[in-house]
Amino acid sequence: MNKKQPNNLKFPKSHKGGRLNPGIKLDKLNQGNYGLVANEPGIILSAHILSVELAIKRVIKKEGVVYLRVFPHTPVTKKPSEVRMGKGKGSVNHYVAKVQKGSIIMEIKTNVFTKALTALAVGKSKLPLSTSIIQRSPVVSIA
């Protein structure tokens, strides 16, 4: 199974970093009608993103499109077990996406309301953070 990871990075290893940048916020639906929003800040592994995408695609089949709004850019390093202290930083083990509260993780564009809700409920259970489902508000024209 393919892992979601960047093709090439300028610096392959990075620091852990502090708090997330509050200036970058993905809080509005761009392409889809329904979305999955993070209720708390945290990190999502590339394996989580892949499993959520696969689970949602299984439910909606060909009646909709899934859009990913987060990508795991941040590498996480790990040293092998039973290795002595020192001797530099470990090799890259996996990649994560840092998500802040209120940012949209996934979007679905479909016309079938019930399938969208069941698909997002299945995807919600695969994620390590608490999430909620949002819907695009309909445009009301005043004539």
Task: Show the domains of the chain with their CATH numbers.
Answer: 34-79+88-135 (3.90.1170.10)
**Which of 1-5, 61-65, 119-123 has the highest mean predicted lDDT (pLDDT)?**
119-123
Q: What are phi and psi of 60, to 5 degrees?
A: -80, -15
pLDDT at residue 54, as a whole number: 94
pLDDT at residue 6, as a whole number: 81
CA distance 12 to 35: 31
Q: What's this model's pTM, rounded to 2 decimal places?
A: 0.81
pLDDT higher than 90, residue 129: yes
Question: pLDDT exceeding 70 applies to what percent of the chain?
Answer: 90
Q: What are phi and psi of 134, to 5 degrees?
A: -120, 160
Note the pLDDT tens digit of each residue in 9-23: 788 888 887 666 655
Note the pLDDT tens digit of each residue in 88-102: 999 999 999 989 888
